[in-house]
Amino acid sequence: MLGDGILKGMAETARNFFGSYVSKERLTTVEYPEQRIPTAENARVFPFLVYDGTDWEAGMRCVACQICEKECPPKCIYIDKSTDKKPDYVGKPQFYPARFDIDISVCMSCQICVEVCPFEAIKMDTQFELATDDRFGGLLYDRKELSRSNEYYHAIHPTEAAEVDARLAEEKAKVEAKAKAAAEAAAAKAAAAATQPAAPAKADSSGLAATAPEAASLTDATKPAGGGS
């Protein structure tokens, strides 16, 4: 019969029309600023810097190794290494970033900086409401704006943060055990105690040195191509 398809369609839309007033599950709309869906645990937007404790400057995990700066594909990270050192989480003196800026207008949220960081110092944030009326200064975040506490990290990525904490605790325990063993050995040998604690630190820095040239060679390889184009 001609026209019955139209009537069927009209009945369907009428059902939708009245149904949307009756049953709430028909309406899938989330009225965003008032209502929010909790972000997924794996969500990632832009990177942030993790610090331990309460003081962001003292507890910052970043040691200004500059791997992320070199690895960053769009080159949106700017790091200045400090001249002095401060103790890191195991109590070893380390450099810290005197300047750590990320231009989030350039950042492409690839998470490579997080992957390459050997110190678990940079992680991905889930905060996405970053609109500002200042295109340049407002989107260039310095280290103070970038730093978030470890508790915040636990709040947004609980599973990942627990793994990281476990790993760090393990490393710290290992370092402490080594130091203890070294101290005991030193006591046993009754040698001078001043030079001994530096041994594990040397091993650490040699590992760092192994990765750094790699990164440097990578950037060297890409540079001529970039310059040519």
Partner 1 sequence: MITMLGAANLLLANPLFTNLDQIFVLLRNWLVGFFPVAIRPAAGVVLGVVAIVCVFPGLFALTTVFERKGLGRIQNRLGPNRVGPFGFFQPIADGIKSLTKEDVVPFRANAVVHFLAPLVLVVTVFMGFAVLPMGRNMVLVDMDSGLLFFFAMGAATELSVFMAGWSSRNKYSMLGAMRAVAQMISYEVVLLLSAVSVVMIAGSLSLPAIVAAQNQYTGSFPHWYIFTPWGLAGFVVFAIAATAESNRSPFDLPEGESELVAGYHTEYSGFKFALFFLGEYLAMFSLSGLGVTLFFGGWLAPFSFLNFVPSWIWFFGKVMFFIFVFIWMRGTLPRLRQDQLMNFAWKFTLPFTLLNLLVTALWRFMGEGWQRWVVCTIILAAAYVIFGRIEMRRQHFGPRKYRYAE
Q: Does 13 sit near partner 1 (CB under 8 A)?
A: yes
- The residue (of 26 and 81) whose beta carbon lies closer to partner 1 is 26
The DSSP H or E segment spanning 180 is helix 158-189
Q: Does 17 bind partner 1 (CB under 8 A)?
A: yes
Find the shortest distance in angstroms from Cβ 38 to partner 1: 21
Residue 210 binding partner 1, by CB under 8 A = no
81 binds partner 1 (CB under 8 A): no
Q: Which two three-digit tokens encode residue 64?
A: 């200004």
CA distance 111 to 102: 13
Q: How far is the CB of 175 from partner 1 (least distance, A)?
A: 57
What string of DSSP letters covers 194-225?
A: SSTTHHHHHHHHHHHHHHHHHHHHHHHHHHHH
Q: Which helix (H) or strand (E) holds 84?
A: strand 77-87
Please work out the total of residues on this chain that contact partner 1, with binding judged by CB under 8 A.
19
In the set 26, 81, 99, 180, which binds partner 1 (CB under 8 A)? 26
Q: Which one, 33 or 137, has the nearer CB to partner 1?
A: 33
Backbone angles phi, psi at 84, to 5 degrees: -95, 180
Query: Is 16 a binder of partner 1 (CB under 8 A)?
Result: yes
The answer to whether 34 contacts partner 1 (rule: CB under 8 A) is no
When asked if residue 12 is in the footprint of partner 1 (CB under 8 A), the reply is yes
Contact 61, 51 (CB under 8 A): yes
97, HSE (Cβ side, Cα atoms, 13 Å): 29
Supply the minimum distance, in Å, between the C-beta of residue 37 and partner 1. Answer: 16
Q: Which is nearer to partner 1, 1 or 221 (CB)?
A: 1
Contacting partner 1 within 128-157 (CB under 8 A): none
Residue 189 exposed, middle or buried by CB count within 10 Å (0-12, 13-18, 19+): exposed
Query: Does 188 interact with partner 1 (rule: CB under 8 A)?
Result: no
Interacting stretch for partner 1, rule CB under 8 A, among 2-10, 70-78, 159-167, 183-191? 2-10
The span of 9-17, 107-115, 118-126, 187-195 binding partner 1 (CB under 8 A) equals: 9-17
Exposure on the CB side of residue 190, measured as CA atoms within 13 A: 0
Q: Distances from the Cα of 93 to the Cαs of 63, 84, 85, 101, 205, in angstroms? A: 10, 9, 6, 23, 12
Residues that bind partner 1 (CB under 8 A): 1-3, 6, 9-10, 12-14, 16-17, 19-21, 26-29, 31
